Structure 1
Amino acid sequence: MKKNILVLCASIIILSFMAFGFVHRDSSESNKIKIPDNLNLVSNLGPSQNLENRIFSNFIYDVGPRFGPIKKGDLNNFTSFADFMEEDDAKRILSYKFVEVIIIENDRESDIRESGNSAKLTSAQLKLLQSSDYSTNLKIRADVMQKNRYTGELEESYWTPHLTIVPEKQAYYINGKDSLMEFLKENSKESRVNVVEDKLQPAKLFFTVTKNGTIENVSLDRSSNFPAVDKKMIELISRTLRKWLPAENAKGEKVDQVLVLSFGLMGC
């Protein structure tokens, strides 16, 4: 009897080991099947592909005057606020309450200003405009009574044209603006890695294209909130040295012109 019991116990032990081995092997095979074939897909991408995926691409570049350009020769012929407007808009204005010419310095309204109370510019306003040099930034404010564009109803309103006085022939990047934009885009990629859109700010970089075609006075006016990006933009604009055709006045003489590089997000 005891011998039979021992044989039975031995048989149970042997069967248990066999079952454990089968379950363990089945579990291992099952785990292997669950491993996705593309587990290492990201790590198998090339370095350049990984970089491209992390670069903030919606990055605005523009180079030009700070505000809407107005040639000095044209400005010298203006005598009325209406000269700064589209004809259709000027016709909607019935009366003027207040008109002021303001010089903008360091991107802020200065105390250099002259005011009047009619569409016709005063002698002081004309003198201020005509004595202003190239690259001067202006704001001209007019408080008016006008007809609403859509309803025709009378309404109080105001106009604030922002202008930059430019030479008759503006400074020009030798290979064209599109080429300059491409140069900035391609060479700023590394600085734009991991830029976070909701922390990015509209940035502006001022620089002077001299009458000799060189770059001077490169200065950051507004930061993008990413110092590496700001630093790279300063570096890249400085690298365009001797790649500009200088501006010219009405006499064909070479003159300096201040330009602005806008980058980061779109802003005013």
Structure 2
Amino acid sequence: MDEAQELLYQKEWRVIDQSVTGLHLDPLQSFGMDDTLCASVGSGTTPATARAWVHHNTIVLGIQDTRLPYLADGLTYLKEQNYHYIVRNSGGLAVVLDEGVLNLSLIFPEKEKGIDINRGYEAMFQLIKEMFADFHQEIEAREIEGSYCPGSYDLSIDGKKFAGISQRRIRNGVAVQIYLCVKDSGSKRAELVQNFYFLAQKGEETKFKYPFINPSVMESLSELLGVSLSIQDVMLRFLQALQKKSETLYMGQLMDQEWPLFEEYYQRIIERNEKFF
């Protein structure tokens, strides 16, 4: 068994499903939640945890995005398009969340050996490939130039990106997070981000190189696989794939001892956002 598969095999997987309830939650809670899970899973007091979440129209900005020269103009545009915006506490650049985008987080304990960064990415990549193996379409992991939030673990089919993976590490816990564009138009989402950068940068030279977005390189899984997938279809595939990786898989929520941690991390990200905006 390779190292990524080894990581996916956990004695116990707790699943926190916010793929429906997340629509009524503040997106900042999601980032507070993953930080909480990193800390509690990392301390060994709770088992490895998988979390699924969906949020209403939200643009999640990276820290670099807050340094755009005409950020206010870009944010005004997002508001006009009926999108909220927040800044996340991990790396990367702007991504789109809406009711057709499923976010999945796998939170592992970083035991004695440590989890190197590529092993975390590889574990998520392998899981996604298993989830959609019956379509016999090759899913690749490589940077897709012209996509939003480009990275070496962009997931694509025929050169069209449908997902991006990021990681967050806190107190011996590792959260590997992916957004999956499940349905609707991937290129329309990319156009939104393209217009945001156009207005927030206005062609000005900047120290940091922001992506030049080409909407035609992004599509949703439904578009790429030629079937109408719903968030719940993909959730079922996720649970089935994860069930094969453990002796016990159960649906859970935060435990009593995790709530105070959550309050702390949630407050921290609220304050951080207040500082930026």
Q: TM-score range by the shorter chain?
A: under 0.3
Looking at secondary structure, tell me which structure has more helix per residue: 2
Higher relative contact order (CA 8 A, sep 6+): 2
Output the TM-score relative to the length of structure 2: 0.22
Output the TM-score relative to the length of structure 1: 0.23
